[in-house]
Every structure is written in C-alpha cells, then in structure tokens.
Amino acid sequence: MARKFFVGGNFKMNGTISSIKDIVQNLNKADLDPNTETVIAPPALYLLLVREHVKKEIGVAAQNVFDKANGAFTGEISASQLKDSNIDWAILGHSERRTILNESDETVASKTKFATENGVSVIWCCGESLEVREAGKTLEVIASQLAALKAKISDWSKIVIAYEPIWAIGTGKVASTEQAQEVHASIREWLSKNVSQSVADETRILYGGSVSEKNCKELSKEKDIDGFLVGGASLKPAFVDIINSKL
C-alpha cells in the first residue's frame, strides 16, 4: 500500500491573529493536492482560531503536549484538552525542544507514548547536529533516538517520523537529495530490523530542514521521502507549492 504524501507546517513561535488568519485564508482558497495530507501547527494560543477557520481537510497540530493527564502542570497542555478542541496532531522531539529546552530522548518518547495512547497522532522529529554529521555519526545518533522511542511504544500507526538535520534548520543549508535519501533509507532499515517490516513499509518519513518551493520537487521524488515538515516557508504563500510538490 502506497504511503500517503504528508506535508506539515510548523509555524514555531511566529504569527499574530491577523497574519495567521491570512495564512489560513490562503490555504482555504488554494487548490491543494487531495492526495497530500496537510497539517499545520500554529502556536498554542492560536490553535482554536486555526481549527475554527481552516477547512476540515487540513489537520491542526500542537507544537507540544505533556506526558501526564490533566492536573497541576502549569503551562502544559494535555492530550485530552487537544482532543476536546479537535486538535488531532502534535509535533514532538523537534530539535529546538531537544536543544533549547533540554528534552531528552526519553522525555520525547514518553510524551509520544502518552499522546498516541490518548488519541493524538505525533510528528516525531529526529536529527543530528553539524558536529555529529562531520564526525560521521549521523545514523548512530538517530538510531539511539529511535531506540528510546521503541522502548516506550508498541503502536506505530499514529506516528509520522520527521528527519531534521539540525544544521539545515533555518540556515538556508539543505541536505543534498542524496544525503536526505540516505538517512531516510537508514531509518526505514532500522524500523525493518528493530520493529517490523510492516511498520517500516507503512511509516511515513518526512524531510525537514530549509525546505522551500525551490527544492521540494526534487526531494519529493526520492523513494523514502514521504513528505516534508516545513518551518519558515509554511508562513509564506509558497507553502502551497510545497504541499503540491507531487503534482
């Protein structure tokens, strides 16, 4: 069974009511590829605004979710609160959360377990720093991130993996098509060896790292690149071109 192409837009800590309404309006009126699953992730403050106004075919994701049920956890959002608000996705393990906020592989895995077990699908991010890339340890680091995830979960059906080379996020640098495909293929091979062949075949693996309307078509042709997790470009009209990169 073919994996459905997937494009996520991570707005990060950007946007105002006005600018986000403009983004939503642009997506609503655009002719989007119906064979591509599209999910956008505004800041938490604007989740309800986006879900209320964006067309139902477009999914909405939180940029974080806690690994506990409701309770005395100031500043956090629970999976049940997301579900109550018709938010069906969360981005977890993004390099900015791992590096700036010191979220460990185990913390990310715990959040992913709790989210997926409580009805929230997860865009689970992994990736390596420039130092790791130059030391030739990219696959080793990503394998350890995957191993931490495998230790916590058994159902992979609600997980989309996003490979994001940290050195290519917001820098304008992009992994070459060959570099991206190599890592994607190694992730799929790891899933095959350590989880199951069916999970390896069915799990979508996205590329993230300065994806733009200029490079998306070439990247989308690779057999193990099943879509994109887009940062800055998701705030621009060109996001539509990335969603339609398979057309």
Q: Can you give the pLDDT of all 247 residues of the chain as single tens digits? A: 689 999 999 999 999 999 999 999 999 999 999 999 999 999 999 999 999 999 999 999 999 999 999 999 999 999 999 999 999 999 999 999 999 999 999 999 999 999 999 999 999 999 998 888 889 999 999 999 999 999 999 999 999 999 999 888 777 777 889 999 999 999 999 999 999 999 999 999 999 988 999 999 999 999 999 999 999 999 999 999 999 999 9
Are 235 and 12 in contact by the 8 Å Cβ rule? The answer is: no
Longest dimension (CA), the chain: 48
Amino acid (one-letter) located at 189: E
Q: What is the pLDDT of residue 59?
A: 98
Q: Which residue ranges make up each domain of the chain?
A: 5-243
Active-site pick, 94, 96, 128, 184 = 94
Rounded to the nearest 5 degrees, what angle is found at the Cα of 131, between the Cα atoms of 104 and 7? 65
Indicate the CATH number for domain 5-243.
3.20.20.70
Q: What is the pTM of this model?
A: 0.96
Nearest to 150 by CA among 120, 126, 181: 126
- 184: annotated active-site residue: no
Query: What is the rounded CA–CA span in Å between residue 222 and residue 153?
Result: 28
- 164: annotated active-site residue: yes
Q: Read off the tokens for 4.
A: 């459905």
Q: How many residues does the chain have?
A: 247
Any idea which residue has 């959040």 for tokens? 111
DSSP 238: T
Q: Read off the tokens for 170.
A: 């917001």
Q: What is the pLDDT of residue 166?
A: 87
Active-site pick, 96, 164, 184, 213 = 164
Are 170 and 210 in contact by the 8 Å Cβ rule? The answer is: yes
Cα dist from 179 to 117, 133, 182, 246, whole Å: 33, 11, 5, 20
Query: What is the rounded CA–CA span in Å between residue 176 and residue 52?
Result: 38
Q: What residue spans of the chain are helical by DSSP H? A: 17-29, 47-53, 79-84, 95-100, 105-117, 130-134, 138-150, 177-194, 197-202, 216-220, 239-243
